[in-house]
């Protein structure tokens, strides 16, 4: 299934849109199998602690290599939709493998991605978005993504520390929740959510007996070059990958993928 005009209109109105079955069960099965067995990803994974002390594990990297995950980040299905949204050529800012384990996976506080990227990474304009693909089922029970519909129109709000995370000003969040709908983004493996960098989102802890794994790729308009914490990938155009993820990609990621060190 491709990204349609209706998808774009929903994204512009709500600040996010889900494209169901963007990736096939076989593709997601391969992505997940690589994720759970990749030694480099395991070594580069670190934990973020929520306000209650629970931990979510993730690995984050900037550079694209010849691995399956880089081909995925360059997939034409994603890149063409991203460039349609941004209205120009896109760069790969970073990719994250999110690992919210059963009964221990922590919550993510209410935040905007641009709250981090503006302050810490020096992006002056919110010409950015994130794309989340579910590798396992995402449900209310295992802490699926929650979105405040239309909150991207608020612009950037102030952020501060909450536990080991950076969270949005809760006065603004609570006021937004009074007038804007809250939606739980329950997703099946292969479903993909595109969301604006100013859309307020969060997720609850995973207190179920099922894991919630996903991969999130962040993209930037190439003209929106940051002035600090600069990674070349954040302003270099992407060459979309139109090949077969099942046969035309090396498996594991390399240690030279410019991982975020923690």
pLDDT at 2 over 70: yes
pLDDT at 1: 63
Instruction: Check pLDDT > 60 for residue 8.
Output: yes
Determine the pLDDT at residue 138.
Answer: 98
| Average pLDDT of every residue of the chain | 94
pLDDT at 177 over 80: yes
pLDDT tens digit string along 201-230?
999 999 999 999 999 999 999 999 999 999
Residue pair 250/55 in contact by the 8 Å Cβ criterion: no
Confidence of residue 163 (pLDDT cuts 50, 70, 90): low
The per-residue DSSP string of 36-104 comes to: HH-HHHHHH-EEEE-TTS-EEEEEEE----SBHHHHHHTBHHHHHHHHHHHTS-EEEEEEEEEEE-TTT
pLDDT at 51: 79
We find that the CATH architecture of domain 5-234 is: Sandwich (2.60)
Q: What pTM did the predictor assign?
A: 0.95
Residue with tokens 């050529």: 89
What local confidence, expressed as pLDDT, does residue 156 receive?
Answer: 95
| pLDDT of the residue at 252 | 86
- What is the tens place of the pLDDT at every residue in 9-58? 999 999 999 999 999 999 999 999 999 999 999 999 999 888 788 888 99
pLDDT for the residue numbered 56: 87
């Amino acid at each position: 299934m491709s990204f349609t005009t209706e998808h774009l209109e929903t994204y512009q109105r709500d600040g996010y849109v889900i494209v169901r079955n963007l990736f096939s069960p076989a593709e997601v099965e391969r992505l997940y199998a690589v994720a759970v067995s990749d030694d480099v990803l395991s070594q580069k994974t670190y934990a973020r602690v929520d306000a209650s002390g629970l931990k979510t594990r993730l690995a984050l990297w900037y550079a694209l290599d010849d691995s399956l995950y880089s081909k995925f980040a360059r997939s034409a299905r994603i890149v063409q939709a991203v460039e349609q949204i941004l209205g120009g050529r896109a760069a790969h800012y970073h990719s994250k493998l999110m690992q919210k384990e059963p009964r221990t996976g922590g919550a993510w506080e209410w935040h905007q991605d641009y709250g981090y990227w503006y302050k810490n990474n020096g992006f002056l304009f919110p010409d950015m978005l994130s794309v989340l693909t579910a590798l396992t089922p995402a449900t209310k029970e295992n802490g699926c993504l929650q979105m405040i519909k239309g909150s991207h129109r608020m612009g950037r709000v102030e952020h501060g520390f909450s536990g080991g995370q950076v969270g949005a000003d809760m006065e603004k969040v609570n006021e937004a929740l009074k007038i804007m709908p809250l939606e739980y983004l329950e997703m099946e493996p292969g479903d993909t959510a595109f969301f604006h960098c100013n859309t307020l989102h969060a997720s609850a802890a995973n207190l179920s007996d099922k894991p919630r794994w996903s991969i999130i790729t962040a993209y930037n308009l190439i003209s929106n070059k940051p002035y600090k914490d600069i990674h070349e990938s954040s302003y270099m155009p992407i060459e979309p990958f139109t090949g077969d993820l099942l046969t035309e990609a090396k498996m594991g990621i390399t240690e030279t993928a410019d991982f975020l060190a923690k």
